[in-house]
Chain A
Amino acid sequence: DIQMTQSPSSLSASVGDRVTITCRASQSISSYLNWYQQQPGKAPKVLIYAASSLQSGVPSRFSGSGSGTDFTLTISSLQPEDFATYYCQQSYNTPRTFGQGTNLEIK
Chain B
Amino acid sequence: QVQLVQSGAEVKKPGASVKISCKASGYTFTTYYIHWVRQAPGQGLEWMGIINPSGGTTNYAQKFQGRVTMTRDTSTSTVYMELSSLRYEDTAVYYCARESATTIRWFDPWGQGTLVTVSS
Contact = CB atoms under 8 A, between A and B. Distances in A.
Interface of A: 31-32, 34, 36, 38, 43-46, 49-50, 55, 87, 89, 91, 94-101
Contacts of A91: 99, 104-106
Interface string B16-43: 0000000000000000000101000000
Contact of A44 (B50, B59, B104, B107): B107
A43 B95 contact: yes
Contact of A45 (B45, B110, B111): B110
Contacts of A96: 35, 47, 50
Given A87-B45, A101-B45, A34 B107 contact: yes
Interface residues of B, number: 24
B82 interface: no
Contacts of B46: 98
Contacts of B99: 91
Interface string B93-110: 001010110001111111
Chief secondary structure at chain B's binding surface: strand
Given A95-B47, A96-B35, A43 B105 contact: no
B104 A95 contact: no
A96 B49 CA distance: 8
Contact of B113 (A32, A43, A49): A43
Contacts of B71: none
Given A46-B108, A94-B59, A96-B35, 14 more contacts: A32-B104, A34-B107, A43-B97, A43-B113, A44-B95, A45-B110, A46-B106, A46-B107, A55-B106, A89-B107, A91-B105, A97-B47, A98-B44, A98-B46
